[in-house]
């Protein structure tokens, strides 16, 4: 179609180049603990925008990769895992004194590993050496200690005086996903008894925990006793898919765990319900969009249901993270990617008709979602914002791109 918006790749590259070249403004201070994540968003976005063969120059030339990898590795902790920020990396002692174990952080560890993979040198040799310098065995042993008896994972370990070891970080599906991902990346095909073998964490317990976290309305939450959330749904499905995937390098998922989701149809229903027609707020309200979480502004309901049948109102399809919540760039990614991952498990399914016909990743109105991201969320300086009209930030700018990629934008990796 002639009026289909396109992604202004050069503009977005300029945004990312700016983020890479100069320090982030102090507004990012609250993300200081997660600098590894910010770094990943930047490098990942650049990788998406400049796939091999695109003819576009990456703002991260191959010659820079070595020093960037070194920075990532400088945050590795002696007890395994990576710290999230150099502001809390302690100088290591030559006398081998133990450094505080709470510095290593589970999400930071996954982002570090992904950064190392993204920054690997070209070619098979570079890919094979991507994780050189990572203390694989220590990290896997540390990962094992982050698992709680109920199968779930925390994000950090701390010895509390008089209380022993404590797995910190709340009950959060994100850690479960990340644990499954770190395991998948690092475990490899090492057999018991071979050098470098580390005892695995309890994958059955993790799968049980995840499967029991489905909620009455079909979504997934940190536990079944909380409100379902699209980010957690992505993490739950993703974790099961990763646990399904054989660790010997075969990318083909067995699909058994994903197929074990109790109420798959309810989950698809819940995920499909995350998209809604985004209606622009009336002009007069533009000025006081100060409270960006004001549901009235962003989650507008039509005057009459039948109004939604008008073609022009279907132009922008937004996603929210929870029932009756506001539109947010990143949920187009979480919902879209969750549906895509769910497809992996659905292929093997027989019997109740879920497998045939429409693939689950077509359950999202791709064209409308693309238009919404490009026409309402893309910022004029590049990047994407969280809410319509807001400023861009690296988190939403990255997930805007990943969402477009999963929505099938051909120009992206």
Partner 1 sequence: MPPKKKGGGKGKASQASKPPTATTEEKATSKDNATADKPPTKEKAKANDSAIGPALPPSSTTATTDPPPATSTTLPETQTILERTRARFTAARPYEAHLIFGPQQQQQSGPLPGKEPGLGGLGDLQPQERSAWLATRIAARIARRPALSATATTVGSATAELARVACGGGAKTIKEVWRIVNEGSVPLRAAGEKQFLGSATGPVSRRIVRWEGLSSQAKGPSAGAGAGKQVPSSSRESQTIAAAEARWERRVRLTCLSAESRCFRAQRDRERRGVCDDRTGERVVVTEQEVVEEKRRRLEIAALRREMSGQGAGSAARGVGKIASDPEWDDVVPVVLEEPEGALASIAYPADYAEAMSYLRAVMKANEHSERCLWLTEYIIKMNASHYTVWLYRAAIIFALKKSIADEIEWLNKIALANLKNYQIWHHRHLLVENHFPSISSDPSAIATFAASERQFLERILAEDTKNYHVWSYRSYLVNKLGLFSDPDELASIERMIDDDVRNNSAWSHRFFLVFSHPDRATPGVAATEPDPKVPPEIVDREVAYAQSKIRLAPQNQSPWNYLRGVLVKGGRKLSEVEGFTEEFVKGLGKGEEEEDVKSTHALDLLAEIYAEQGRKEEADLSLQRLGQKWDRIRFGYWEWRRRCLGMGAAAA
Which whole-number Å values give the CA distances from 320 to 24, 130, 217, 333, 359, in the listed order? 28, 36, 16, 10, 22
Could you tell me if 362 and 335 are in contact, meaning their C-beta atoms sit under 8 angstroms apart?
no
CB nearer to partner 1: pick between 77 and 253:
77
Q: How far apart are CA 33 and CA 303, in angstroms?
A: 44
CB nearer to partner 1: pick between 12 and 316:
316
Could you tell me if 144 and 158 are in contact, meaning their C-beta atoms sit under 8 angstroms apart?
no
Could you tell me if 150 and 224 are in contact, meaning their C-beta atoms sit under 8 angstroms apart?
no
CB nearer to partner 1: pick between 74 and 250:
74
CB nearer to partner 1: pick between 64 and 286:
64
DSSP label at residue 282: P
- Cα–Cα nearest to 31, from 396, 352, 341: 396
- Cα–Cα nearest to 308, from 341, 279, 346: 279
CB of 13 to partner 1, least distance (A): 17
CB nearer to partner 1: pick between 35 and 245:
35
Q: How far apart are CA 271 and CA 254, in angstroms?
A: 23
Q: How far apart are CA 144 and CA 138, in angstroms?
A: 10
CB of 405 to partner 1, least distance (A): 19
Tokens coding 252: 């083909």
Task: For residue 104, count other CB atoms closer than 10 A to its CB.
Answer: 28
Q: How far apart are CA 120 and CA 252, in angstroms?
A: 24
CB nearer to partner 1: pick between 225 and 248:
225
CB of 202 to partner 1, least distance (A): 18
CB nearer to partner 1: pick between 198 and 343:
343
Q: How far apart are CA 153 and CA 174, in angstroms?
A: 9
CB nearer to partner 1: pick between 159 and 250:
159
CB of 7 to partner 1, least distance (A): 22
CB of 135 to partner 1, least distance (A): 19
CB of 198 to partner 1, least distance (A): 25
DSSP, collapsed to helix, strand or coil, labels residue 263 as coil
Q: How far apart are CA 322 and CA 230, in angstroms?
A: 6
> 């499909």: which residue's tokens?
272
CB of 246 to partner 1, least distance (A): 27
Q: How far apart are CA 222 and CA 219, in angstroms?
A: 10
Could you tell me if 273 and 218 are in contact, meaning their C-beta atoms sit under 8 angstroms apart?
no
Mode of pairing for the β-strands spanning 104-105 and 82-83: antiparallel
CB of 309 to partner 1, least distance (A): 5
Mode of pairing for the β-strands spanning 275-277 and 317-319: antiparallel
- The three-point CA angle 368-374-375 to 5° equals 85
CB nearer to partner 1: pick between 198 and 234:
234
CB of 318 to partner 1, least distance (A): 10
CB nearer to partner 1: pick between 62 and 90:
90
Total residue length of the chain: 413
CB of 94 to partner 1, least distance (A): 13
């Amino acid at each position: 179609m002639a009026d289909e918006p396109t992604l202004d790749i050069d503009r977005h590259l300029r945004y990312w180049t700016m983020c890479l070249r100069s320090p982030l403004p102090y507004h990012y201070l609250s993300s200081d603990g997660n600098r590894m994540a910010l770094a990943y968003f930047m490098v990942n976005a650049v990788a998406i925008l400049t796939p091999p063969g695109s003819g576009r120059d990456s703002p991260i030339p191959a010659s820079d990769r070595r020093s960037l990898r070194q920075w990532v590795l400088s945050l590795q902790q002696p007890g395994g895992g990576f710290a999230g920020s150099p502001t809390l990396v302690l100088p290591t002692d030559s006398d081998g004194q133990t450094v505080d174990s709470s510095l290593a952080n589970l999400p930071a560890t996954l982002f570090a590993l992904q950064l190392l993979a993204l920054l690997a040198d070209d070619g098979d040799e570079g890919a094979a050496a991507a994780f050189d310098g990572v203390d694989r065995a220590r990290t896997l042993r540390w990962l094992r200690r982050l698992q709680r008896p109920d199968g779930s994972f925390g994000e950090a370990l701390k010895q509390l005086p008089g209380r022993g070891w404590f797995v910190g970080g709340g009950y959060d599906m994100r850690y479960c996903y990340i644990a499954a991902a770190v395991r998948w990346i690092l475990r490899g095909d090492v057999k018991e008894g071979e050098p470098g073998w580390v005892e695995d964490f309890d994958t059955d317990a993790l799968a049980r925990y995840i499967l029991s976290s489905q909620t009455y309305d079909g979504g997934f939450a940190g536990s079944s006793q909380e409100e379902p959330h699209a980010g957690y749904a992505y993490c739950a499905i993703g974790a099961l898919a990763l646990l399904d995937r054989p660790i010997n390098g075969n990318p083909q998922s067995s699909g058994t765990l994903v197929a074990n989701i109790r109420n798959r149809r309810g989950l698809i229903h819940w995920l499909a319900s995350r998209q809604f027609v985004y209606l622009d707020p009336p002009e007069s309200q533009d000025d006081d969009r100060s409270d960006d979480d004001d549901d009235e502004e962003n989650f507008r309901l039509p005057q009459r249901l039948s109004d939604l049948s008008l073609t022009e109102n279907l132009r922008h399809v937004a996603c929210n993270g929870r029932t009756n919540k506001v539109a947010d760039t990143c949920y187009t990614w979480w919902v879209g990617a969750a549906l895509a991952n769910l497809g992996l498990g659905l292929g093997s399914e027989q019997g109740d008709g879920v497998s045939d016909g429409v693939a689950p990743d077509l359950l999202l109105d791709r064209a409308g979602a693309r238009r919404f991201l490009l026409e309402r969320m893309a910022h004029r300086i590049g990047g994407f914002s969280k809410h319509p009209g807001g400023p861009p930030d690296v988190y939403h700018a990255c997930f805007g791109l990943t969402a477009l990629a999963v929505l099938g934008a051909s120009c992206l990796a």
